Structure 1
């Protein structure tokens, strides 16, 4: 089986490639990635010489390369996306160009060559969840920021291609991922790195925003299940039901690193900040048979120690956006 992974040098895409090639010898993976912010070929150093792996540096908006690669693939999995909310607030244009037009380019080739497509989306498309409410796959989408809006747009685009053209597609919506190799601007690695550097850890508002967390390996295992068992045209939520406030996450990390909570610095909340994300994934559990395996506290501790022991991986990636307490006020080019 030939698999095309778009965005395979990013955090989740690289985890999928490492996981998949580590569990089978009868499939080949081509990784297409433009190596923009968040992508890092060092994530794949352990498998870069695997004969079943090939890397191509290019953009999912490149119609000719996408057409050629998809024509020669059996399955296409799209992880490629601009995904940092703060960056989308500062400059939405790259998110519209990559997330929407990139997905459109892939869909056109999928339609032309009749291939299987897994579109990786996010729980953020549902927007703010009220207390005690968890969104299922039939819930209305209500994105609150430009990033989430572009992902919701692509979800609708994929759905329309299924209904209009009958393509073989699945959409996944997963909660917040964590684990090794996550880009330093994200909450967990940013907290770990700033703590290691003895810098204050910024928290938006009062830090009581609730997110649901899942270890990245559980996420990619779910995708592997869906490749073989998912039903075309369906949306599948993926979560480990670990709903925790941002403040609690930071406090847990500080405790692991034996630091005081006095390192927390409360900063002005970001615009349009959702208070709670919560989804129900009984559909994939009951229909597909997938279940998360990682214990959150154990996995968080392992993740913290990975960053402690792999400073050579993250140090070159640390920049002003990792160290600045209000990154949406910056200008990115």
Structure 2
């Protein structure tokens, strides 16, 4: 399992190397002009939020790799990273979502405290809603990854079983007829993305989605200051919506990729079950033939999320064309 984990984590390692190269290449380039006020605040949210989510995720992901390096490269080193680095840790999947929830909480407080001074009324040709300033493509991406995360979490939770502590962290192998109880107790189940992991992830993802909706709705329905400021405010609100949607999408992609990675890893192995007549049977999960593709897809999604976070850190901003402006 250890060697396979290293292989399947390789896209994550390659993505990290790509990030380092990207940062070196971008060093010294003149950053894009950032408008004062709310634009400056959202630029800060994009940078600090992405950095926080990125650092937390990499710390969690690379901890098992550090433990493996110590075990196989420096076996005599008396450093105990953890008594059981593969044991249950409920925070290993939802931690990026926790960080994102904290970031959006700060944004909500800031947005709630802002006031708009209307210098001259602006008549709207159509009512503005929470999606008025959001890119349809980014909205579709955010909704898709959220739906995928909830679906995967529900599917995995339904098929999970409890461990010796009563936590749904295992999946049961098909039990051959006549399998001994001793063999079944030892090899009849394997680590899985069960309810013990998926419930916190789904709850936090829904909370994050509710926060995102509130912020998008609040910044959308607020009146413009004057007819002359409509274009500038539209650009500002569109950039803010883009920053929040990208942060949301990246934060949701990380646990989604991690869930698929674990689900795929689990099914790539076969378990040996001994029957009462001393015969040995190799058993595998029903989706074993698709397991490598599932695991690779999970690693790719995590790498994509990392690249999105780095792009936000480096100041990539959405450009607003005249066709994207909300007519008011």
Question: Structures share a fold, TM > 0.5?
Answer: no
**Which of the two has higher C-alpha Rg?**
2
TM-score (normalizing by structure 1): 0.29
Ranked by relative contact order (alpha carbons within 8 Å, sequence separation 6 or more), the top structure is 2
Higher strand share: 1
